[in-house]
Structure 1
Amino acid sequence: MSARRPGAKPLLIALAVIVFGVIAALNIEPVPAPGAPAVAPDRLENLSPAEALAAAEAFYESRPLYERPHPYTPVPEGLPDLRAETCGACHAEIYAEWQLSTHRRAWLDDAQFMEELAKSRGDHNEPGAERHDVSWMCVNCHTPLVNQLEKLVVGLEDGDIAKPIYVDNPVFDAELQLDAITCATCHVQDGVVLGPRGDSEAAPHPVARGDHLLDEENCVRCHQAEALFPEQNLGCFFTTGAEWSESEFAEQQQHCQDCHMPQTERKIAGNYDVPVRKTRHHWFGGSLIPKKPEYEAEIAPLREIFGSGASIYLEGPADDCAGDGCADARVVVLNDKAGHRFPTGDPERHVDVSARVITPDGRELAREALRIGAIFEWWPEIKLKSDNRILPGESLELGLSWEDEAPAGEGPVIVEIEAVKQRMYEEAFDFHELEGRYVRGRHFHRSRWEVAENGQVRLLSIEDDFGARQTLEPQDASTAPE
């Protein structure tokens, strides 16, 4: 989610998450607002806990799925609470993996989101300004359980999404809120713990099978959320789910979990007499940019497991190219691993690829750069200016030319390539004063190549998420997700 950029008026927040091909024509149907709350305004401060929960449930049911928190669930019998630490007492390995995940860091550890959330609540509005609060839509994906929300929405004043009618949440668990996207988000419904099998007789709590855990349903609730609110100059367009559904990955029944939750075999509860079974890791690896600088050491080992989603390599001149417009070599960025666009998610995400051509003694002959991502205009209305993110199985090329700078007979030249994943643009990073509190991006590829005078290309060295080596293929392919 992105909000107001420098220069935007205080009350106009751009929830930036716009996917290209969708926003280009801005042809998304506006989301209709529900009517008045089911509870009379004069009773809002005197609702019983049951009435407050029922009124909130009625409101949320009237909204699109991504604007709803997960419904209230009582604590399963046999457990003291819904907190991840409680789950980790038995599911220790899974708990340790989750602690490294972006899901775990999606609340107070996410400084960018905290800044956006403050603006979406109108915290920075000038004194006396009209109330403007759209934060109730944002929190549902960062603290997804009703039990994690300090206040619940039971209606909107005059149907205005920026004027929610709140009531205190009678089941609010402040410590559970700190867990962000937690175990119970996916695994607890109606007081029952759900698993992919649901057949454990050793569990100290009720269990059942949760088929949604095996497909994309659980993920797209937040990772497929798109809407446009023209009257607010507000948009929310997370379309990773749609990108996946239109790819060969969906046709082949490869779901989000197949890449982001690699399979393993283990006992899911180490202290119990349960069999070793196939299960999945709970790291939920994605860009693997740490949320804070101090999380770098814990995140780094996961990169060799997940990789970057795309392959970057150098090729010689195109076979069908002739004339002055032909490049002497081409940097190719191939989306050969991700089941969605590269990059995906927030439109601030982008990848910067740069390459320079040098002689063996270090004299620079050429330098080029390629930015892969979306560029937006936020004010006075949201407009997509360009977007070149890469579809699954497709590629982008960066041409390099240096013939005019390299006299014939001097032998091969060296091409150095670097690539950086970025969470947000530098302007927004500086505007939010995130330096030291948040990590904007990370290098994920460096390579050196030799290009002979006849155009032949030879890899000299490469360093990426799979390590340092002299071949394109990882040294140990078994570390890649199944």
Structure 2
Amino acid sequence: MKRKSVILLTLAIVLIGFLAWRFIRPMNIFVVDDRFAWPIDTSQTPPVLGKLGATECAACHQDFYEEWQTTIHAQAWTDPYFQTDWQFDDAQHSCRLCHTPLDRQLPRKVLGYRDKDKWDPVLADNPGFDPKLQHEGVTCAACHYREGKIVGVLGTRDAPHPVQQLQDPNQVCVRCHVVEGDRWDTFFRFPPCGTVAEIESSLAATPDKQDIAYLLKLMEENETDVGIDAGSAPETLRQTLAPAGNSGEIIAGDTRALGCVQCHMPMVMRPLVAGGVERMTRRHLWRGGHDPDMVRKALTIEFIEAEQIENNQRRFRLTLANTGAAHYVPTGTPDRHLTVHLRLLDGQGRVLDEQTHTIKRTVMWRPFIVDLWDTRLPRWQPRHYELIVADGSETVKVEAEVRYHLLAEARRQRIGYDNETPINYMVFNKQIPLRAGIPHDIQGAGDD
């Protein structure tokens, strides 16, 4: 009996020690494989490409450069939120390899790793470090430079620099946007930064045909432009990824089905270089969660008075659906979320009652990383929210509001992020008056 007690006590101590270690260990949330473990090698850069700076590219590609300057890619290193969050999480070196992917953007070069998981690099001072290039974040060469050549979809032969043709431009996107890992102790169901796994899941799903028909009709009524053919993606996507040399580039088996550039890099007719022949090229914008218009394009939203369920009640329904994004909405870091607010308002605009719903991914981080639940919007699956107004209520208007949050307020306070720009914005707002004689489904409509 005494021996059994000793064994149980020992096991309890071991378990408590293990759980304690899980609470204090460094938070490694994804698997660092070779595509993230090493920067893009620029040792073969020909003299014509200079220092690989964006201003050098602008000498010929001014329009592209000006678009890039407006993007989050250009701020990938200098963005105040990234810097605050990165420093809060112990400035993990692996983050540099997507936010500053070129070897000469790193103050210290990677010689190797002390651990199998590649979270503990062996570093040495980098004599080729270019601090100006570092501040360009995901600069032109981060996407377009590989092994001494500029990669692009045209493959033109009259350029002043070596060119290699891409079969599909999405091959560039998936170098960084496939952050993944399915080990039980390091990751959760969908990635924090990449979206390929979400698209794969979305395309593999089989949405209800009635839902799709309803949403297509709703989109037609609202003249919604989703920017991508809803029927172009296959039912399933088998994505095969493999490293290509030591450049950090990967080869994807079927990147065309992803729709990355088709949505985030719209086409425009213009010359590739100043004075050149006009042709269809893609705008270098990469708008996403920071752009309210882009989020609105991804969503179809309707707020109407529905049929009565009882004589003394009026029922209002908000329908919210992801009809324009192949990945979940919202996507990106788990901090991003949507809030839905349904309100009863009196004659002075005061709130008599309110419902609030949160659309987000909820993760337990310690002692193990587990996706507890995920209420985000997959494609083609409408979400309905209802508001009931009882007879005799003081309600004069009903209101629906949808907001997009780039960051949770609790997280903002925890990391000490002193934001100068808003961390949430309105996606949709509509009020429906209850007064007799006013068309309930059109008065007060419109996005704010």
TM-score in terms of structure 2 length: 0.74
Letter in 1 for 2:375: N
Q: Which residue of 2 aligns with 1:196?
A: 153
Distance 1:404 1:12 in 2: 57
Distance 2:408 2:348 in 1: 35
Distance 2:115 2:332 in 1: 32
From 196, 200, 209, the equivalent of 2:165 is 209
Secondary structure of the corresponding residue to residue 403 of structure 2: strand
C-alpha contact 1:142 1:180 (8 A) present in aligned 2: yes
C-alpha contact 2:433 2:440 (8 A) present in aligned 1: yes
Structure 1 residues 392 and 144, CA, compared in 2 at 3 Å: closer, same or farther?
A: same
Structure 1 residues 421 and 13, CA, compared in 2 at 3 Å: closer, same or farther?
A: farther
Secondary structure of the corresponding residue to residue 98 of structure 2: helix
Q: Which residue of 2 aligns with 1:311?
A: 300
Q: Which residue of 2 aligns with 1:266?
A: 270
Structure 1 residues 223 and 323, CA, compared in 2 at 3 Å: closer, same or farther?
A: farther
Letter in 2 for 1:280: R
Q: Which residue of 2 aligns with 1:178?
A: 135
Letter in 1 for 2:273: A
RMSD: 3.4
Q: Which residue of 2 aligns with 1:242?
A: 197
Q: CA deviation at 1:192?
A: 1.5
1:5-84 aligned within 5 A:
11-14=24-27, 31=31, 63-84=33-54
Distance 1:338 1:378 in 2: 27
Q: CA deviation at 1:75?
A: 2.8
Matched, 1:417 2:400: yes
From 347, 351, 354, the equivalent of 2:334 is 347
From 447, 452, 455, the equivalent of 2:430 is 447
Letter in 2 for 1:102: I
Distance 1:370 1:92 in 2: 45
Distance 1:452 1:67 in 2: 63
Structure 1 residues 368 and 194, CA, compared in 2 at 3 Å: closer, same or farther?
A: same
> How many equivalent residue pairs?
378
Q: Which residue of 1 aligns with 2:74?
A: 104
Secondary structure of the corresponding residue to residue 74 of structure 2: coil
Matched, 1:165 2:122: yes
Q: Which residue of 2 aligns with 1:114?
A: 83
Matched, 1:288 2:277: no
Structure 1 residues 336 and 318, CA, compared in 2 at 3 Å: closer, same or farther?
A: farther
C-alpha contact 1:329 1:455 (8 A) present in aligned 2: no
Matched, 1:388 2:388: no
Structure 1 residues 278 and 239, CA, compared in 2 at 3 Å: closer, same or farther?
A: same
C-alpha contact 2:23 2:366 (8 A) present in aligned 1: no
Show structure 2 runs of 5+ residues with no match: 1-20, 204-230, 236-256
Structure 1 residues 315 and 234, CA, compared in 2 at 3 Å: closer, same or farther?
A: closer
Question: Could you say which structure has the greater relative contact order, defined with CA pairs below 8 angstroms and 6 or more residues apart?
Answer: 1
Q: CA deviation at 1:368?
A: 1.1
Q: Deviations over 1:133-184 (max 9, x none)?
A: xx22211111112221222323322535443211333432221111101111
Q: Identity across aligned pairs (percent)?
A: 27
C-alpha contact 1:224 1:237 (8 A) present in aligned 2: no
C-alpha contact 2:38 2:110 (8 A) present in aligned 1: no
Letter in 2 for 1:185: A
From 259, 264, 275, the equivalent of 2:277 is 275
From 95, 99, 108, the equivalent of 1:151 is 108
C-alpha contact 1:198 1:209 (8 A) present in aligned 2: yes
Q: Which residue of 2 aligns with 1:333?
A: 320
Letter in 1 for 2:135: L
Q: CA deviation at 1:457?
A: 4.1
Q: CA deviation at 1:375?
A: 1.9
From 162, 166, 172, the equivalent of 1:218 is 172
TM-score in terms of structure 1 length: 0.69
Distance 1:369 1:279 in 2: 43
Distance 2:281 2:77 in 1: 27
Q: Deviations over 1:166-210 (max 9, x none)?
A: 133343222111110111111111221222111152x32222312
